Chain A
Amino acid sequence: DTAVSQTPKYLVTQMGNDKSIKCEQNLGHDTMYWYKQDSKKFLKIMFSYNNKELIINETVPNRFSPKSPDKAHLNLHINSLELGDSAVYFCASSQAGLTPLHFGNGTRLTVT
Chain B
Amino acid sequence: GEDVEQSLFLSVREGDSSVINCTYTDSSSTYLYWYKQEPGAGLQLLTYIFSNMDMKQDQRLTVLLNKKDKHLSLRIADTQTGDSAIYFCAESIAQWSGNNRLAFGKGNQVVVIP
- Would A97 and B95 be within 8 Å (CB), given that A42-B104, A43-B88, A48-B101 are in contact? yes
Tell me the complex Cα distance, A97–B43, Å.
Answer: 20
Offer 29 A-B interface pairs, CB within 8 angstroms, sorted by A.
A31-B98, A40-B106, A41-B86, A41-B107, A42-B104, A42-B107, A43-B43, A43-B88, A43-B104, A48-B99, A50-B97, A50-B98, A50-B99, A51-B98, A55-B98, A55-B99, A90-B42, A94-B99, A96-B98, A97-B95, A98-B30, A98-B100, A99-B100, A100-B33, A100-B48, A103-B45, A104-B42, A105-B42, A106-B41
Interface centre among B41, B48, B96, B104 (most CB of A within 10 A): B104
Main secondary structure of the interface of B (DSSP, over half): strand
Tell me the complex Cα distance, A30–B99, Å.
Answer: 9
Interface on A for B, CB 8 Å cutoff? Answer: 4, 30-31, 33, 40-45, 48, 50-51, 53, 55-56, 90, 92, 94, 96-106
Interface on B for A, CB 8 Å cutoff? Answer: 30-31, 33, 35, 37, 41-45, 48, 86, 88, 92, 95-102, 104, 106-107
Chain A residues whose CB sits within 8 angstroms of the CB of B97 once the complex forms: 50, 53, 55
Chain B residues whose CB sits within 8 angstroms of the CB of A101 once the complex forms: 45, 100, 102
Tell me the complex Cα distance, A43–B99, Å.
Answer: 17
